[in-house]
A and B are shown apart, each in its own frame.
Chain A
Amino acid sequence: MTADLAIEAEGLVKNFGKTRALQGVDLAVPRGTVLGVLGPNGAGKTTAVRILSTLLTPDGGSARIGGFDVVRDAERVRQSIGLTGQYASVDEDLTGRQNLELFGTLLELGRAGARRRAAELLDWFDLTDAANRQAKTYSGGMRRRLDLAASLVGSPDVIFLDEPTTGLDPAKREDMWNVVRSLVGDGSTVLLTTQYLEEADALADEITVIDHGRVIAHDTPDGLKRVVGGQTLEVRPSDPAHLARTAAILTQVSSGAQADEIRRGVLAVPVSDDAALTESVARFAAAGIAVTELSLHLPSLDEVFFTLTGRTASADDTTRPSEVAA
């Protein structure tokens, strides 16, 4: 046991009937950092989170949160964790405020303390105006925020976010990310599962990739991207007649790589860093080439998987029994 690890797991095994959900998963998250757990549906991400948050007992292996064993010291573990599930787990018939006050009461904050903490969180999550409305009237984004607020009532040291932004639009996703960043800035440790490489890249200090209940890669986001092959710059010149000149510029900014026409009128080239985007903008302006689309793409989860496993992540969905979420 290392003192500065907030989350540590060794050889976690969990079977559901014949489904081998986890087949020996190791995780280590230093205090005050974010671990992104990346994997396709059914990879075992949710099962791992449910074991770490004491909702399931593992069939094999062990895990500790802040040094406390998730099976033997489950009670102590529950005092220091916050859990936000893939599906908002607040009471829809209660108002936002009633939900947060209920959890505050259950967490022994006392009547006044629960009320104060609820008001604080409602304010922070911009839910004060909706505080006295039933949660079932909330929009998807509001419900997600309430759910996250509910998991923060007890000021937990370790926060589990199980696919916190699945189904949110990009702006709402950005808001969630800011929340996660300020939690970590405040000293919390976050374990985040996601299907989006982009999300893991934006938030995580380290990324663990899980597939078929096994860890198939563990690295920093940059390290992982190096394995997978960096980013792709995509450009659509306004005038298709400029395709050849555009391709020439792309070859320059990517230090020699050949640009391919990946869709009709769209050129793509692999680039090694973000600077390629600004550089290409400057060069297009100098050359007088107008562009209607210009974007920088991280390798998709599909590509990560393809590189790591030789299979595509999405094809995997159809052949795996779905993750046990209930």
Chain B
Amino acid sequence: MSTLTDAAPTRSRALSTTTPNPRPFRLVRHSLALAKRSLIKTWRTPEALIDVTLQPVLFLIIFVYVFGGAVAGSTHDYLQFLLPGILAQTIATGAIAIGVNLNTDIAKGIFDRFRSLPIPRSAPLVGAVLGDVVRYVIVTVSTLAIGYVMGFRIETDLFRAIAGCLLAVLFALCLSWLPVLVSMKVRTAGAVQGVMFALIMPLSFASNVFVGADTLPGWMQAFVDVNPMTHLVASVRGLFLGTPLGNHVWWTLAWCAGFVAVFMPLALRAYRKKI
């Protein structure tokens, strides 16, 4: 520790940050720097990806082999039907993790450091949201991979298949502002998880994820028809399997825009208030 008694390193005034004119696009650049931080964290703790890798595998295996025969007459037919639904469900539950992580992060005090830096206040939140895109890509890849092993086949073309994947990732990216908002409002990471499951579960089960909407009782169909998850699943199904797309893609995009328009400002406001 003798080095600590040495003189401080040159204060390098040339490097000093007190430049009067900050460079443009600060929010974008700072958010990306902070997204990189999220990526490193994900990379360093691969066990945190269990929810998004194991869940689609388990759900596909259980639902296809347990219910496939009864629901669709054959497990292969049901796998074709179910996979887009499982992708949508897993990617939506995968968005919960950001709320849980943020809640723990803020409790640790690193956000105090961020707020003492001359960066836009929202950059740490935007960065965390962007950094989670990698999780959604992993969900998509792992769901499709296990699906292929089980016999799932894309029935359209590569272009539409990729469009379906991107739509699912976009959906999760926009939806994630809801768990971000929740994480600002509740005290513990466990509570974030609880609240978000209570919100996501009805969305994913009262939908067309597991069975066709036309088999549901009328009162529930009314909910299913407006459920954002229904539109996402129908869009992904159409893009993967060539089933009629209708207006589902537009509805999905509208919901995405709605999520961002409503939850992002609320989350940013709650964030400023919280700390």
Contacts and interface: CB of A to CB of B under 8 A. Distances in A.
Interface of A: 53-55, 75-76, 78-83, 85, 87-94, 98, 102-103, 105-109, 113, 116-117, 120-121, 123-126, 134, 145, 150-151, 154-155, 157, 171, 175, 178-179, 182-183, 185-188, 326
11 contacts: A55-B115, A79-B18, A83-B113, A90-B110, A90-B113, A91-B110, A103-B117, A106-B34, A175-B5, A182-B7, A183-B8
Interface of B: 1, 3-9, 11-13, 15-19, 22-23, 30, 33-34, 36-37, 40-41, 44-45, 107-110, 112-119, 123, 275
A108 B110 contact: no
A89 B108 contact: yes
Contacts of B23: 108
B116 A54 contact: yes
A80 B18 contact: yes
Contact of A155 (B3, B6, B13, B113): B13
Given A93-B44, A102-B37, A155 B11 contact: yes
Given A83-B112, A85-B112, A126 B1 contact: yes
Given A89-B113, A91-B37, A185 B8 contact: yes
A108 B17 contact: yes
Contacts of B5: 175, 178, 182
B118 A78 contact: yes
B117 A150 contact: no
Nearest to B1: A175
Nearest to A103: B117
Contacts of B107: 326
Contacts of B119: 106
A93 B117 contact: no
B116 A117 contact: no
B7 to A, nearest CB: 6
A69 B1 CA distance: 38
A312 to B, nearest CB: 30
Given A102-B37, A105-B33, A124 B110 contact: no
A175 B109 CA distance: 24
A150 B17 contact: no
A240 B13 CA distance: 61
B116 A83 contact: yes
Given A55-B275, A83-B112, A87-B109, A155 B16 contact: yes
Interface centre among A90, A106, A108, A117 (most CB of B within 10 A): A106
A123 B9 CA distance: 9
A98 B11 CA distance: 20
Contacts of B117: 78, 103, 106-107, 154
B35 to A, nearest CB: 11
B4 A175 contact: yes
B44 A134 contact: yes
Given A125-B4, A126-B1, A185-B7, A102 B112 contact: no
A188 B13 CA distance: 12
Contacts of A78: 116-118
Contacts of A188: 11
B169 to A, nearest CB: 23
A145 B22 CA distance: 29
Contact of A89 (B13, B19, B110): B110
Contact of B118 (A79, A98, A171): A79
A48 to B, nearest CB: 14
A55 B15 contact: no
A185 B6 CA distance: 11
Nearest to B30: A106
Given A91-B41, A107-B17, A155-B13, A124 B8 contact: yes
Contacts of B30: 106
Given A109-B17, A326-B107, 5 more contacts: A83-B116, A85-B113, A106-B34, A108-B17, A155-B12
10 nearest A-B residue pairs (beta carbon): A89-B109, A78-B118, A154-B17, A83-B116, A107-B17, A93-B41, A89-B113, A182-B8, A79-B118, A120-B9
Contact of B116 (A81, A113, A326): A81
B110 to A, nearest CB: 5
Contacts of B37: 91, 94, 98, 102
A70 B150 CA distance: 61
Nearest to B33: A105
Contacts of A89: 108-110, 112-113
Interface centre among B9, B34, B40, B114 (most CB of A within 10 A): B9
Contact of A92 (B108, B112, B115): B108
A109 B112 contact: no
A178 B4 CA distance: 7
A167 B9 CA distance: 26
Contacts of B12: 117, 120, 155
